[in-house]
Amino acid sequence: MTAPVIVEVREADAVAILTLNRPEKRNALDPGIIRALKDALDVIERDERVRVVLLEGAGRDFCAGADLAHIEAMVNASYEEHLADAGALGELFVRMRHFARPIVAAVHGNALAGGAGLATACDIVLASDDAWLGYPEVHIGFVPAIVMTMLIRSVGEKTAFELVATGKRIDAGEAHRIGLVNAVFSRHTFAADARAYAPELAGKSATSIGFSKRLLYELDELSFEEGIARGEEVNAEARMTEDCKAGVKAFLAAREAGETT
């Protein structure tokens, strides 16, 4: 049986590549692929060799969204059954949010509905210049409900509402302009560019990036004063790490030698 998610750990680069592997279904999200992603993240988080996760899709699309055949098969399900099914995707998004290391999405082709949500759940989104993103659920009377929590944080209220209310698809350039995508690369070199980006990020201080990710998302739940106080705590914790001690020492030595300004 073909694995719904392929896991490759590149120890030399400190990068784990997760590849959605349902190309015949345009990598549509069903219970199997959702469960496989959660299981993969659980394993990778225990692997000290990995500093960055790169999430990509096999075939012509990143992810076309929820598997509608699965939803149709649940036509006679109870509210509780539908809630449990939706909860699996919600749990994945929460798991990604609390994952200790950065997750980078490499979006090519289409990232629609839950597929756009999966990309948005990542910490950084890279896109090919021929990629399309969108939340077209309104066209079938559905709602991108689980995605909205992340979408509003990425693009703001009015832009988020326009995207979900119109269901329009936007190209990579527009997605970059509104803050849904961090960087856009040529379709001709995209795979190589994405796989070069992740190791560069992995080369940064793992403790610094870990602290930054945790604090950034914690601030969602805090008042201004609480956020400043929590920042003070993380500042103090970071100063005590070996990465910070070594980095400060190296910087000061370089400055004394006239190598920095």
The residues that are catalytic are: 137
- Reading the block at residue 20, the tokens are 């959605």
- Reading the block at residue 227, the tokens are 């956020």
Q: With contact defined as beta carbons under 8 Å apart, do 146 and 116 qualify? A: no
Q: Which residues pair with 90 in a beta bridge?
A: none
Beta strand pairing call for 132-134 and 169-171 = antiparallel
The b/e string for 68-98 (b: 16+ C-beta within 10 A; e otherwise) is eeebeeeeeeeeeeeeebeeebeebbeebbe
Which residue type is seen at 147?
A: V
Q: With contact defined as beta carbons under 8 Å apart, do 54 and 195 qualify? A: yes
Residue 100 to residues 47, 69, 206: CA-CA distances in angstroms?
A: 11, 34, 10
